[in-house]
Amino acid sequence: MIPPQQSWPEAFARRYREKGYWRGETFAGFLRQRAEQRPDAVAIVDGERRWSYAALWARAEAAAAGYLRAGLRPGDRVVVQLGNVAEFFSGVFGLFRAGMIPVYALPAHRITEIAHFARRAEAAGYVIAERGDGFDYRALARALQAEVPAVRHVFVAAGDAGEFHALPVERDEAIALPAEVSSSDVAFLQISGGSTGLSKLIPRTHDDYLYSCWASNAICNVTERSVFLVALPAAHNFPMSSPGHIGALHAGATVVLSPSPSPDAAFPLIERERVTITGLVPPLALLWLQAAPGTRHDLSSLEVLLVGGAKFTPEAARRVRPVLGCTLQQVFGMAEGLVNYTRLDDPEETITHTQGRPISPDDEVLVVDDLGNPVPEGQPGHLLARGPYTIRRYHNDDAANARAFTADGFYRTGDIVRHLPGGYLEVQGRAGDHINRAGEKISAEEIEDHLLAHPRVFDAAIVSIPDDYLGERSCAFIIPDGEKPGAAALKAWMRQRGIAEFKVPDQIVFTEAFATTAAGKVSRKELRARLRAAFLEQQ
């Protein structure tokens, strides 16, 4: 079991309960309730498959019995790596029903990342589909079990299970399912896109996460008549919780799964299913804006487009209503907690120029200088956050906890923002060294560590370079050790190490030396800033 969540001091927890934010609800509990209330309403649409709430719940119970029969126990952590398929939902709600704890990996993750999640979470199981986007996840499962033998059970939720367990679709009545867990327990571990080293694991409780989802529903007008399109990967925190598929299921609405976020895949689904709301990262929103005027598909059902994950420019934001005919909602959130939205009835200027304001009246937001002192409103500073759905610690990572939280429990977001009148925030950039590549966060340090393992790399520094389409792209500056390895060969070598494709540097620049100060000493952060400045000057 993950030890009881003691991260919110009792006085805070009491307040959040008294104010009705934490309602004592669990994931399995709310889905069971919806299945009783609206058994025949469509919960999940995946291609030609339509699962009612009753069917989804039955599948979740069947999966739960399958996990238990195989030997997993309540409290076990289970890495889930599934794309936008209906089985994501039966697989994950099955874990909730069995009192187990999903660890959400993205389909793009490869052995290096999956092994890290499994170790850090001390996972006992792994749930996959046989294939996705042409990739063989069973081969990845074999590699994982060779590297992390504690992962005893692999479940193939869709496709041919081969030597692994198939995820049952019929309930084995001989297996008793456990009683419901406590809503203050950790429900799952989400992946952080932080700046330093490997991803951290984010423990979210039933109470805190469900609050952020149902409160988002009210802000985004998600009700049981809504149809939510999951265009981004379902395991990502944004399409999961803002208000996301969890918000939509909580509302008793319909969740439509798109195999890809491209207009080719999404536009026909919007027309066919009369989709009312979806969320995109800025590069995809730009692609949709480009494709919409020429499309033969009827997009008129779309009421709200959420855009977040990276900064959306005011110029693009202004085009959403005229081109797509819906209201834009900017969303600035993070898997660690705090989520901000522009409101549906905000003035146009606020919607196009800000990244919104927090969900909760009890979100505490501070904007401080380098020394931690509050800066005046309107001045840029570091964003710190504390509140009823913002974590107070990472899972199993003392070093990260010491860095990421203040003594009084504020999460250091790493974002540089300006606080505007009315509590609105405008994101200015990042203090740390990560690259926000189309909403995917890449830690410079993590990629540098990979590069440094190459025998012909003497030193490496990864920087972000502004990119019209991606927002930022990654550029690796390399000092070779002897003969240059060649950019293509180096990229191929990185892929071979088993990392997500989005982390492979977009560009590689070989150089003789990195500029240093007169004193000869320079921090990595400063070095990266200099390399970026020198690169941009040359352009």
List of long-range contacts for 329-332, beta carbons under 8 Å, 24+ apart: 329/220, 329/304, 329/305, 329/356, 330/306, 330/354, 330/355, 330/356, 331/238, 331/242, 331/279, 331/306, 331/307, 331/355, 331/356, 332/308, 332/356, 332/425, 332/427
| Contact between 302 and ligand J2J per CB under 6 A | no
Q: From residue 382 to residue 421, what is the string marking binding to ligand J2J with x (rule CB under 6 A)?
A: -------------------------------x-x------
3-state SS, residue 358: strand
Residue type, 269: L
Binders of ligand J2J: how many residues, by CB under 6 A? 24
3-state SS, residue 425: strand
Q: From residue 137 to residue 176, what is the string marking binding to ligand J2J with x (rule CB under 6 A)?
A: ----------------------------------------
Cis bond upstream, residue 243 (ω within 30): yes
Exactly one of 79, 334, 384, 500 binds ligand J2J (CB under 6 A); which one?
334
Contact 429, 389 (CB under 8 A): no
Work out how close the CB of 535 gets to ligand J2J at its nearest, in angstroms, rounded to a whole number. 22
- Closer of 7 and 90 to ligand J2J (Cβ): 7
Work out how close the CB of 28 gets to ligand J2J at its nearest, in angstroms, rounded to a whole number. 22
Interatomic CA distance for residues 293 and 117, integer angstroms: 42
3-state SS, residue 103: strand
- Closer of 185 and 415 to ligand J2J (Cβ): 415
Binders of ligand J2J among 237-266, rule CB under 6 A? 237-238, 241-242
Work out how close the CB of 215 gets to ligand J2J at its nearest, in angstroms, rounded to a whole number. 12
Which positions ≥6 away from 33 have C-beta within 8 Å? none
Work out how close the CB of 278 gets to ligand J2J at its nearest, in angstroms, rounded to a whole number. 13
C-alpha closest to that of 102 among 91, 114, 111: 91
Contact range with ligand J2J by CB under 6 A, out of 111-119, 125-133, 334-342, 484-492: 334-342
Interatomic CA distance for residues 68 and 82, integer angstroms: 20
* Burial of 131: CB neighbours in 10 Å, binned 0-12, 13-18, 19+: middle
| Contact between 311 and ligand J2J per CB under 6 A | yes
- Closer of 197 and 268 to ligand J2J (Cβ): 197
Please say whether the dihedral angle defined by the alpha carbons of residues 498, 146, 131 and 65, taken in this order, is positive or negative. negative
| Contact between 278 and ligand J2J per CB under 6 A | no
Work out how close the CB of 434 gets to ligand J2J at its nearest, in angstroms, rounded to a whole number. 8
- Closer of 235 and 299 to ligand J2J (Cβ): 235
Work out how close the CB of 173 gets to ligand J2J at its nearest, in angstroms, rounded to a whole number. 38
| Contact between 84 and ligand J2J per CB under 6 A | no
Exactly one of 107, 193, 247, 358 binds ligand J2J (CB under 6 A); which one?
193
Residue 201: CA count within 13 A, CB half-sphere = 30
| Contact between 366 and ligand J2J per CB under 6 A | no
Instruction: Give the containing element (helix H, strand E) for 94.
Output: helix 86-97
| Contact between 355 and ligand J2J per CB under 6 A | yes
Nearest residue to ligand J2J, by Cβ distance, number only: 333
Interatomic CA distance for residues 466 and 421, integer angstroms: 29
- Closer of 164 and 209 to ligand J2J (Cβ): 209
- Closer of 348 and 481 to ligand J2J (Cβ): 348
* Burial of 448: CB neighbours in 10 Å, binned 0-12, 13-18, 19+: buried
Work out how close the CB of 233 gets to ligand J2J at its nearest, in angstroms, rounded to a whole number. 11
Interatomic CA distance for residues 35 and 413, integer angstroms: 37
Contact range with ligand J2J by CB under 6 A, out of 93-101, 106-114, 235-243, 480-488: 235-243
DSSP sequence for 280-292:
E-HHHHHHHHHHG
Tokens of 45: 């649409």
C-alpha closest to that of 498 among 165, 203, 105, 191: 105
Exactly one of 427, 442, 447, 463 binds ligand J2J (CB under 6 A); which one?
427
Contact range with ligand J2J by CB under 6 A, out of 114-122, 261-269, 436-444, 458-466: 436-444
- Closer of 44 and 328 to ligand J2J (Cβ): 328
Exactly one of 51, 137, 164, 332 binds ligand J2J (CB under 6 A); which one?
332
| Contact between 505 and ligand J2J per CB under 6 A | no
- Where along the sequence are the contacts to ligand J2J (CB under 6 A)? 193, 237-238, 241-242, 308-311, 330-335, 339, 355, 413, 415, 427, 430, 436, 439, 441
